Structure 1
Amino acid sequence: MPGYLLGIDNGSQSTKVTVFDEHGTVHARARVPLRPNDTPRPGVVEHPDDDLWDSIGAATRAALEAFDGRPEDILGVGLCTIRFCRAMLRADGTLAQPVLSWMDERVSRPYEHVNPDVRYVTASSGYITARMTGQFRDTAANYQGVWPIDTDTWTWIDRPELPREMLFELVQPGDELGTITAEAAAHTGLPEGVPMFATANDKAVEALGGGLGDDRTLLLSLGTYIAGMTTGARNVHDAKAFWTNFACRPREYLYESHGIRRGMWTVSWLRDLLGEQDWLNEGAATVPPGSDGLVAVLDWLAPVDASFRRGAFLGFDGRQGPFHMYRAVLEAIALTMCGNGNAMAAELGTEFDRVLVSGGGADSDVLMRIVADAFDLPARRAQGGAELGSAICAGVGLGLFGGFDEATAAMVRPGTAFTPDHATHERYRQLVDVYRELPTYTDPLFTWLASAGD
């Protein structure tokens, strides 16, 4: 009988669950939106109630209901969750307080032990692992930033503010986390005893599922946080144009350019204001490159080190309408990330030959053409994402493949390619400089507005 792999992608806006076979063919999928975050005061962004656990249960049940096979045909589960979240757990693995979103300012500071009910401090992946398997174990590849981890050895460092006994055991991507408990089986519809496998942080899992495997390829990840990524074996410290993260392959690294916070969230926000997405995409394709002089500043969520920044449109002169606004945001995304990606390539001493584009935004032909023209490189849709990357980790962990190279060759398929128009690129090449220099002009304005109590 055939066996199947189930990949979980618990993202910032929804949980997606997909059932794959060992060739990467999709046999069922489901998506359940997350509830809006609780933001009771500035800087506080929490996941309401037990929303992560609830959405994973609902999405998994829905995927299994759409699956033509039997739940017993699921051989293994790969788990990917939102990175940079912080979960504080009681001794039994349940939440002692709401999970902190990656947008919560507290996750940029070391943990402070102020709640006596907290026994463990972990990432969202650790929390879901504990609920699914009963094991206090998590992937090393989902810990960065203020977590006490040695990025050379992928192991914990002793720090007094977060004692080792409050941290989970660390494993590598593709290692088994545990097996589905009876409680988790009732919650998700998965059979009790099915093994679950570690992945990494969500961007690295997305990169694996998208087929990123060399330093001549840039993966443009169009998510709530937009990043440009490439991969390598060096743990590069103190880079200026990028930062080094763990990859979804043991002992390898993912290099991430500077990104855009609330990137595709901004596109969704604008769509909700202006109209239906297909209509906007069709209309944006008729707008000339450069949007007739309209420029978008994409700080709808200000960076931590420049909290005064805001989003803006500049350059209205009466020619522009909703299609110009929509295209201006798409161009701002592509041109900002072109500048960021090229800066990363220069610091790494490489050049990109191609761009892979993943995430929901990759479904837009107009955005794919803008990306190809901005980079002056072939741009290809990545067919897989974090769900497929999760399933690949499960397949490797189960021994269905000889390693990650064999697994990606078997399961990742190339998507549609878009060829750049060199004349359009010349127009965009000038605008890359505009977007790079924009903060020089807008920062003083937004600083003044912030001081005036906007």
Structure 2
Amino acid sequence: MTTRYVMGIDNGSQSTKVAIYDLDGQEVAFGSATLRETLTPKPGVVVHPEEDLWDSVKAGMDDCLSNFNGDKKAIEAIGLCTIRCCRVLLQEDGELASPVQSWMDERLSKPYEHTDDSVQYVTTTSGYLGLRMTGEHRDTAANCEVYWPLDWETLDWSTDEQVMKDNGLSRDMLFDLVKPGEALGTLRAELAEEFGLGKIPVVATANDKAVEALGAGIQNPQSIMISLGTFISAMSSHDHYFEDAKTFFPTLASVPHKFVYESTGIRRGLWTVSWFKRLIGEEITKEAEQEGVSVEDILNLRAADIAPGSDGLITMLDWLASPDTPYRKGVMIGFDQRHTRYHMYRSILEAIAYEMKNNIDAMADEVGLDLREVVVIGGGSKSNVMMQILSDVFGLPVHRRKGSSVACLGAAICATTYLGVYEDFDAATSSLVQNDSTFETDARNHAFYTNVNDSVVKHVRQHTDSILKRMHPIFS
């Protein structure tokens, strides 16, 4: 019998990843394409250049298919996952009226304002890329949350005209909505021919973090997923919406009528690690070349040799402060003669662990979560030292999943559900998600980290904020 396959697309902030799976969840091909740098033509404006998002999807698909040795006609569906919290303005013919607004763009912090008469449609990245792939004006309801007139009970647009006006929109400016696991449309004939595929369904998912949670196998409130990406946050799965949340953000899941609770996150999380690598670039590159390993391997090997606590070097990860605390900047304190670049690197990793532990604890206290395990995904999960630090800080087993991208897998789960391969999302998730490795807690390190966190880390900002507020008007 011919093996059946599905494709999952993960269009992220820095790259588009594409994977092909058999129906047992085995990844059989993977490809990717790097996005261009976002543009900031003036303060507060952050946009993706030209058709970069769509170009990266096509390039990622092409790269993945070039690594695929199976029958392309046996690929039966494509699941599409895209960056959340972006805004796309389209002309009547579907062409971009202006560059795609990134989630980092300040215009996304308020409702849409209609200032350009050439704009006919206002949509998300999933609506935009779905249109490019299928020619249909459809979007997934689970990517239309902040400043979109969505009725969360029906997962369709609100019929209340005032709600529409409050969001700066009218119904004729919006695409039709479908739910996760339903079809956005059929792959356009010219694209099917270009890629050697059949005219197969393109299946809706949700916002990218919710799709990651699905692909990470987060199915109950006792599990928490930490996504180590450009933006670091954590998510748990729930059956009910949580009203008036104080310490987290309840968002739509990649399963219709379910929810994920997202903790407060770290802006420019793993970006800070990339920044540090660029900062020390030339010397560390030479060292890696001499030892025949990657820069990441050198950093992780050296950091693993440094004692927990980085010999007293404490980092606060405010390289991109939130809008309500614009004065905050990244801080490293506690330097002395012992410290090396590898102490700085480990301190950044420990800062990620402390920050996420405190954010997740706040959410757990508010909701009453009894966490039993942590699943870590994203580029940072490849680092064994990062995984062990997280286990030691949390005092819980930390799992790394198999595969190149859990968001690709989450998109594939939606595709298999659409095809009816599995009874429902839970069955598909249980069958397709596979664990790679588990990191167990060192009890002594956990006690040490808990002491440092409670006695030092939680109190740093109350002392640094005052001086940073003095600096802000001078250097902003």
* Residues 301 and 310 in structure 1, CA contact (< 8 A), matched pair in contact too: yes
Counterpart-to-counterpart distance in 1, 2:61 and 2:109: 31
Q: C-alpha displacement at 1:422, in angstroms?
A: 1.0
Question: Which residue in 2 is equivalent to 1:241?
Answer: 247
Q: 2:471 aligns with which of 428, 449, 452?
A: 449
Question: Which residue in 2 is equivalent to 1:212?
Answer: 218
Q: 1:352 aligns with which of 355, 358, 371?
A: 371
Matches within 5 A, 1:223-302: 223-274=229-280, 275=284, 276-302=295-321
Q: Verify: 1:416 aligned to 2:437, yes or no.
A: yes
Q: C-alpha displacement at 1:358, in angstroms?
A: 0.7
Question: Which residue in 1 is equivalent to 2:180?
Answer: 173
Q: Which deviates the most, 369-378 or 299-308?
A: 299-308
Counterpart-to-counterpart distance in 1, 2:147 and 2:326: 19
Matched letter for residue 339 of structure 2: Q
Counterpart-to-counterpart distance in 1, 2:264 and 2:229: 14
Q: C-alpha displacement at 1:3, in angstroms?
A: 1.3
SS in 1 for 2:224: strand
Matches within 5 A, 1:41-440: 41-157=42-158, 158=161, 159-160=164-165, 161-185=168-192, 189=195, 191=197, 193-274=199-280, 275=284, 276-384=295-403, 385-433=406-454, 434-440=456-462
SS in 1 for 2:28: strand
Matched letter for residue 104 of structure 1: D
Counterpart-to-counterpart distance in 1, 2:121 and 2:276: 39
Counterpart-to-counterpart distance in 2, 1:432 and 1:138: 43
Matched letter for residue 219 of structure 1: M
Matched letter for residue 171 of structure 1: V
CA distances 1:409-447 after superposition (whole Å, capped 9, x unpaired) = 221111200110111111111232333332212222222
* Residues 210 and 383 in structure 1, CA contact (< 8 A), matched pair in contact too: no
CA distances 1:161-217 after superposition (whole Å, capped 9, x unpaired) = 211111111111100110011343366x15252111000000010111111000001
Matched letter for residue 7 of structure 1: G
* Residues 73 and 198 in structure 2, CA contact (< 8 A), matched pair in contact too: no
Counterpart-to-counterpart distance in 1, 2:198 and 2:75: 11
Q: Identity of paired residues, percent?
A: 47
Matched letter for residue 167 of structure 1: L
CA distances 1:289-343 after superposition (whole Å, capped 9, x unpaired) = 1111111111111112212221121111121111101000000001110111111
SS in 2 for 1:452: helix
Which runs of no fewer than 5 residues in structure 1 stay unpaired? none
The root-mean-square deviation of aligned C-alpha atoms, in Å, is 1.3
| TM-score normalised by the chain length of structure 1 | 0.97
Counterpart-to-counterpart distance in 1, 2:277 and 2:409: 28
Q: C-alpha displacement at 1:359, in angstroms?
A: 0.8
Counterpart-to-counterpart distance in 2, 1:438 and 1:202: 32
| TM-score normalised by the chain length of structure 2 | 0.93
Counterpart-to-counterpart distance in 2, 1:190 and 1:94: 25
Q: C-alpha displacement at 1:403, in angstroms?
A: 0.8
